[in-house]
């Protein structure tokens, strides 16, 4: 994904009006023959912003932005285009009128490309008319990194620190030469396939990032990862992490999975996988690939737990995650356990809240985020709409060059601002779990108590791109902070208001001491 600098020419416009410009309020499609018609300024913003946003795969969470522009109608292509760019921090969300009916010019498009894409355009089309065709063809060529013909468009990088295609790097020839030598002169070249060579080159680049959350997945690994995001996969059912080279930690075993049933716990350190030592050269993805496999096969794990060393033989199984568990407790309190923030969890959460809203009892709501390793930022943001006042920040996001916020679209299915809420966390609560607990505490502090043990401390945001061969690339694009106080928890985690250590002896006897404390707490 290319990075952009701030878009600076919002209010520049020409003084003339062209009567037959394309209507920016209905520009989702371009009727035959319209591609060469002039664009007014509103149409230009719509085509340009939406096109670049599509190339950049901007996440769907842009739609939570409420725009302040006075003369931009909701649910129009222009509104959605501006949402995307406000989301990314390239447009100020101002309470002003935009001069949308005035004729757009090629000069405005040129300045936009120079400011946003770090490319210089010497010529776009002819005359002073800007058309849909000129924008789409130019952006298509820019993103394909190919020279432009026909219109005479020439591009060159103009900003120090901007993205440069790998072919312009001085030692790119080395990579190309190695590839050619392997294909032409290598003795066993017949065993080498182009797909594998390219995939391993991509894996190497991802690993050089030295970011444990940045990974390239070849097609099979990509499918496994996507299955896991979808809530159904085969394996032992545990989230793992590598905070330091050679240290492979269990973040959390998933509820009801072979990992949990075998006795694995968050904080366990895996030192061997099937008698293969975990060393500093072992990557996190290598470890995941060794542990995950088809159901009904077994994997042996050697674990270090404090000063104790343990061996586990775990039979893999098909894992189907139930994202939300809801029940009414014998105390009259309501209990919601969220196992992970996978696709669709917001809907299951809404169903639980619907059940709670029908109960005339006004007891506490206990939200259990223990051993929840996180998941989708979009999902947790939607769930926080029930706790955060409309228009207020749900989560604060810092990208490489910009800062953005996801704002609440208040959902009044149930008024949670008046309810006593307890949130259970532990060392296996990470990422989206920490966003939820931290932001709820931010806004409803008097009525919220966080109980348990310090959370994991993951504050990064990843994007996932999928390629035509089925492979995918997951990479860190931002850091997040809680919505109101903009608290970051990287490496430190969230400290509970009331620390209650998990009692393993009671657990083996069928009791949950942290849960018992939550049920008995009143304030």
* Residues 361 and 469 both lie in one domain: yes
SS3 assignment, position 229: helix
Q: What is the mean pLDDT of residues 277-287?
A: 89
Q: Is residue 479 part of a domain?
A: yes
* Residues 192 and 265 both lie in one domain: no
H/E stretch holding 277? strand 276-277
Residue 454 annotated in active site: no
Q: Work out the pLDDT band at 338, boundaries 50, 70, 90.
A: very high
Catalytic residue among 429, 431, 455, 471: 431
Instruction: Answer yes or no: is pLDDT of 28 > 60.
Output: no
Q: What is the tens place of the pLDDT at every residue in 451-479?
A: 999 999 888 889 888 888 889 999 999 98
Which of 394, 379, 384, 381 lies closest to 341 in space, CA to CA?
Answer: 379
The top-scoring range by mean pLDDT among 2-11, 62-71, 155-164, 241-250 is: 241-250
Range of the domain at 52: 24-144
* Residues 195 and 128 both lie in one domain: no
The DSSP secondary-structure symbol of 189 reads: G
* Residues 465 and 333 both lie in one domain: yes
pTM: 0.62
* Residues 397 and 511 both lie in one domain: yes
Q: Is residue 155 part of a domain?
A: no
Q: What is the tens place of the pLDDT at every residue in 405-464?
A: 889 999 888 888 889 999 999 998 999 999 999 999 999 999 999 999 999 988 888 988
* Residues 203 and 243 both lie in one domain: no
* Residues 44 and 88 both lie in one domain: yes
Catalytic residue among 212, 441, 458, 519: 458
Q: What is the mean pLDDT of residues 482-499?
A: 86
Any residues with CB less than 8 A from the CB of 267 and at least 6 apart, and which?
Answer: 249, 250, 305, 427
Q: Of the candidates 320, 341, 365, which is a domain's last residue?
A: 320
Q: Work out the pLDDT band at 90, boundaries 50, 70, 90.
A: low
> CA-CA distance, 491 to 505, in Å (whole number)?
29
Q: Work out the pLDDT band at 91, boundaries 50, 70, 90.
A: low
Instruction: Answer yes or no: is pLDDT of 55 > 90.
Output: no
Q: Is residue 274 part of a domain?
A: yes
> CA-CA distance, 301 to 316, in Å (whole number)?
12
Q: Say which residue, 175 or 61, is predicted with more confidence.
A: 175
**pLDDT attached to residue 99:** 78
Half-sphere exposure of 494 (CA within 13 A, CB side): 35
Catalytic residue among 442, 455, 474, 519: 442
Q: Is residue 13 part of a domain?
A: no
The DSSP secondary-structure symbol of 494 reads: P
Percent of the chain at pLDDT above 70? Answer: 84
Any residues with CB less than 8 A from the CB of 83 and at least 6 apart, and which?
Answer: 62, 63, 65, 67
**pLDDT attached to residue 153:** 38
As a three-state string, the secondary structure of 72-133 is CCCCCHHHHHHHHHHHCCCCCCCCCCCCCCCECCHHHHHHHHHHHHCECCCCCCCCCCCEHH
Which of 146, 113, 143 lies closest to 130 in space, CA to CA?
Answer: 113
* Sequence-separated contacts (24+) of 355-362 with Cβ below 8 Å: 355/326, 356/326, 356/414, 357/413, 357/414, 359/328, 359/334, 361/328, 361/332, 362/419
> CA-CA distance, 112 to 114, in Å (whole number)?
5
Q: What is the mean pLDDT of residues 66-89?
A: 81
Q: Work out the pLDDT band at 68, boundaries 50, 70, 90.
A: confident
> CA-CA distance, 338 to 226, in Å (whole number)?
20
Q: What is the tens place of the pLDDT at every residue in 179-217?
A: 899 999 999 998 898 888 988 999 999 989 888 889 998
Q: Is residue 204 part of a domain?
A: yes
Q: Say which residue, 522 or 147, is predicted with more confidence.
A: 522
The CA-atom distances, in angstroms, between 269 and each of 119, 302, 305, 503 are: 48, 8, 6, 20
**pLDDT attached to residue 130:** 84
Q: Is residue 218 part of a domain?
A: no
* Residues 300 and 328 both lie in one domain: no
Q: Is residue 164 part of a domain?
A: no
**pLDDT attached to residue 517:** 97
Any residues with CB less than 8 A from the CB of 308 and at least 6 apart, and which?
Answer: none
Q: What is the mean pLDDT of residues 294-305?
A: 92
* Residues 354 and 491 both lie in one domain: yes
Q: What is the tens place of the pLDDT at every residue in 109-127?
A: 887 887 677 676 665 655 6
Q: What is the tens place of the pLDDT at every residue in 355-395?
A: 998 887 778 999 999 989 898 888 999 999 999 999 999 99
Instruction: Answer yes or no: is pLDDT of 229 > 70.
Output: yes
Residue 458 annotated in active site: yes
**pLDDT attached to residue 156:** 39
* Residues 78 and 189 both lie in one domain: no
* Residues 183 and 267 both lie in one domain: no
Any residues with CB less than 8 A from the CB of 188 and at least 6 apart, and which?
Answer: none
Q: What is the tens place of the pLDDT at every residue in 169-179?
A: 777 788 888 98
Pair 432, 376: CB distance under 8 Å = yes
The CATH code of the domain that includes 347 is: 3.90.226.10
The DSSP secondary-structure symbol of 250 reads: E
Helices marked H in 397-447 = 432-443
Q: Work out the pLDDT band at 278, boundaries 50, 70, 90.
A: very high
Residue 28 annotated in active site: no
**pLDDT attached to residue 159:** 38
Q: Work out the pLDDT band at 343, boundaries 50, 70, 90.
A: confident
Q: How high is the mean pLDDT of the chain?
A: 82
Instruction: Answer yes or no: is pLDDT of 3 > 90.
Output: no
* Residues 96 and 236 both lie in one domain: no
Instruction: Answer yes or no: is pLDDT of 15 > 50.
Output: no
Q: Is residue 134 part of a domain?
A: yes
- Per the structure, the count of domains in the chain is 4
**pLDDT attached to residue 26:** 55
């Amino acid at each position: 994904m290319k990075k952009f600098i701030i878009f600076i020419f919002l209010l520049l416009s020409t003084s003339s009006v062209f009567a037959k410009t394309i209507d920016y309020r209905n520009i989702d499609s371009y009727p035959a023959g319209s591609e060469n018609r002039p664009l007014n300024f509103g149409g230009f913003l719509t085509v340009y912003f939406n096109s670049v946003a599509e190339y950049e795969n901007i996440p769907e969470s842009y739609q939570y932005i409420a725009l302040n522009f006075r003369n931009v109608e909701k649910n129009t292509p222009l509104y959605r285009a501006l949402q995307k760019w406000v989301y990314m921090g390239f447009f100020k969300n101002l309470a002003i009128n935009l001069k949308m009916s005035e004729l757009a010019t090629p000069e405005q498009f040129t300045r936009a490309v120079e400011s946003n894409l770090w490319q210089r355009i010497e010529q776009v089309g002819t005359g002073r008319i800007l058309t849909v065709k000129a924008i789409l063809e130019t952006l298509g060529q820019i993103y394909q990194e190919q020279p432009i013909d026909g219109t005479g468009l020439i591009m060159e990088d103009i900003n120090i620190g901007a993205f440069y295609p790998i072919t312009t790097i001085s030692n790119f020839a080395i990579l190309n030469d190695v590839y050619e030598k392997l294909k032409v002169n290598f003795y066993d070249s017949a065993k080498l396939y182009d797909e594998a060579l390219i995939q391993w080159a991509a894996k190497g680049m991802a690993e050089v990032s030295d970011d444990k959350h940045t990974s390239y997945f070849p097609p099979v690994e990509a499918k496994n990862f996507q299955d896991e995001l979808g809530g159904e996969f085969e394996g032992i059912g545990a989230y793992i992490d590598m905070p330091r080279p050679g240290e492979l930690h269990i973040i959390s075993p998933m509820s009801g999975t072979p990992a949990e049933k075998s006795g694995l716990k968050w904080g366990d350190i895996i030192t061997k996988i099937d008698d293969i030592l975990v060393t500093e050269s072992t990557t996190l993805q290598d470890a995941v690939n060794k542990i995950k496999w088809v159901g009904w096969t077994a994997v042996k794990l050697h674990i270090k737990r404090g000063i104790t060393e343990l061996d586990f033989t775990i039979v893999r199984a098909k894992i189907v995650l139930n994202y939300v568990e809801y029940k009414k407790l014998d105390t009259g309190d309501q209990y919601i356990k969220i196992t992970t923030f996978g696709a669709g969890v917001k809907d299951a959460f809404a169903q639980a809240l619907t059940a709670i809203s029908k109960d005339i009892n006004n007891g506490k709501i206990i939200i259990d985020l223990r051993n929840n390793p996180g998941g989708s930022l979009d999902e947790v943001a939607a769930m926080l709409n029930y706790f955060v006042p409309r228009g207020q920040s749900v989560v604060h996001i810092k990208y490489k060059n910009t800062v953005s916020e996801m704002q609440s679209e208040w959902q009044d299915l149930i008024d949670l601002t008046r309810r006593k809420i307890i949130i259970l966390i532990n060392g296996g609560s990470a990422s989206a779990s920490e966003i939820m607990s931290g932001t709820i505490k931010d806004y409803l502090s008097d009525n919220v108590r966080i109980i348990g043990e310090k959370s994991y401390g993951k504050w990064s945001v990843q994007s996932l791109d999928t390629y035509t061969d089925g492979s995918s690339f997951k990479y860190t694009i931002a850091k997040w902070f809680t919505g109101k106080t903009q608290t970051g928890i990287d490496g430190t985690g969230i400290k509970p208001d009331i620390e209650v250590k998990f009692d393993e002896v009671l657990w083996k006897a069928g009791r949950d001491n942290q849960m018992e404390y939550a049920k008995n707490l009143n304030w």
